[in-house]
Chain A
Amino acid sequence: MSTEQNFYRRHERAILGTVMVLLFLLGWEGLARGWWADALRPLLGESAERLQLKPIFISSPTLVGTAAFRMFFVTGEIWRDIAWSSFGYGLGLALAIAIGIPLGLAAGWYRRFAYAIDPILSALNATPQVAFLPLIVVWVGTGLSARVLIIVLLAVLPIAINARAAVRTTDPRLIRVASSFGAGDWRLFLTIILPSAVPFLLAALRLAIGRGMIGVVVGEVYGSAAGIGAMINQAGSRFQTDKVFVGVLTIVAVGMILVEIVQRIERRVEVWRPQVQM
Chain B
Amino acid sequence: MTVPIDLEQDAPQARASPAESGRTHERLMIGGGTLLATLLLWETLARSGLVDPLFISSPTRVAQAGWGLLQDGDFWNDLSISGTEFLFGYGLAVAIAIPLGLAIGLSRRLQYMLSPFIDTLNAVPRVTLLPLIIIWAGIGIWSKVVVVFLGAVIPILINTQSGVKACEARFIRVARSFSASRLRLFVSIILPGTVPFVFTGLKYGAGRALLGVVVGELYASTAGIGHMIAAAGNTFQTDVVFFGVLIFMVAGLITVALLDRLEQRFERWRPDVH
Contacts and interface: CB of A to CB of B under 8 A. Distances in A.
Contacts of A237: 131
A252 interface: yes
Interface string A107-132: 00000100111111011101110111
A134 interface: yes
Interface stretch (B115-123, B178-186, B266-274): B115-123
Contacts, number: 146
A44 interface: no
B34 A119 contact: yes
A162 to B, nearest CB: 14
Contacts of B233: 133-135, 137-138
Contact of A123 (B108, B128, B130, B253): B253
Main DSSP-derived SS at the A contact region: helix
Interface stretch (B95-103, B159-167, B210-218): B210-218
Nearest to B247: A131
B2 interface: no
A264 to B, nearest CB: 16
Contacts of A126: 207, 249, 252-253, 255-256
A248 interface: yes
A201 interface: no
A133 B214 CA distance: 10
A8 B123 CA distance: 28
A173 interface: no
B219 A127 contact: no
B149 interface: no
Given A115-B26, A138-B55, A138-B233, A214 B242 contact: no
Contact of A119 (B35, B123, B244): B35
Contacts of B236: 138
Contact of A135 (B38, B134, B213, B242): B242
Given A137-B233, A218-B215, A13 B112 contact: yes
Nearest to A214: B125
Contacts of B123: 210, 252, 255-256, 259
A138 B125 contact: no
A220 to B, nearest CB: 10
Interface stretch (A66-74, A90-98, A239-247): A239-247
A205 interface: no
* Interface bracket on A: 35 or more
Interface of A: 12-13, 16-17, 19-21, 24, 56-57, 112, 115-120, 122-124, 126-128, 130-135, 137-139, 210, 213-214, 217-218, 221, 229, 232-233, 235-237, 239, 241, 244-245, 247-248, 251-252, 255-256, 259
Given A131-B248, A134-B229, 7 more contacts: A16-B109, A20-B117, A112-B30, A128-B213, A137-B233, A248-B128, A248-B132
24 contacts: A16-B113, A17-B116, A21-B116, A57-B135, A112-B30, A118-B27, A118-B31, A119-B35, A131-B226, A131-B245, A134-B229, A135-B241, A135-B242, A213-B125, A213-B128, A217-B125, A221-B218, A236-B130, A239-B135, A244-B131, A247-B128, A251-B128, A255-B124, A255-B125
Interface of B: 26-27, 30-35, 38, 55, 108-109, 112-117, 120, 123-125, 127-132, 134-136, 207, 210-211, 213-215, 218-219, 226, 229-230, 232-234, 236, 238, 241-242, 244-245, 248-249, 252-253, 255-256
